[in-house]
Amino acid sequence: MDRPGDRLCFLARRLVPAFDLRVVVLAPGGERAYEEAEWRDALVVLERGEIDLESLAGSRHHFRSGAVLWLSGLPLRALHNYGPAPALLVAVSRRRLE
């Protein structure tokens, strides 16, 4: 059972079939270009590590392990990992009907 103060973690949960889970690993010193479609409709948890989100204007916002993010539709250029360890992002979204 979840306790107050517990962090949201998708890796330790079994999802119902209506949802998809995707894991993105960003190596130390790594950069990943932002593509809006990759994050559409996804709730993202930074499970491990740290990331910086770089806006199109050049500003950066730093996030640490445990952060819950919504990356859809943002004016971003890239995701960066300036930390010493890999950053592990887990995105959960509704399964698309085909």
**Do residues 21 and 90 lie in contact, with contact meaning Cβ atoms separated by under 8 Å?**
yes
pLDDT of residue 19: 81
Architecture (CATH level 2) of domain 23-94: Sandwich (2.60)
Mean pLDDT for all residues in the chain: 88
The per-residue pLDDT for range 61-78, each reduced to its tens digit, is 999 999 999 999 999 999
Residue 14 binned pLDDT confidence (cut-offs 50, 70, 90)? confident
Reported for 4-12, long-range contacts at CB under 8 A and 24+ positions apart, including other chains, are 7/45, 7/66, 8/45, 8/66, 8/68, 9/45, 9/47, 10/45, 10/47, 10/90, 10/92, 11/47, 11/90
Mean pLDDT confidence for 22-31: 96
Domain map (residue ranges) of the chain: 23-94
Residue 47 has pLDDT above 90, yes or no: yes
Residue 2 binned pLDDT confidence (cut-offs 50, 70, 90)? very low
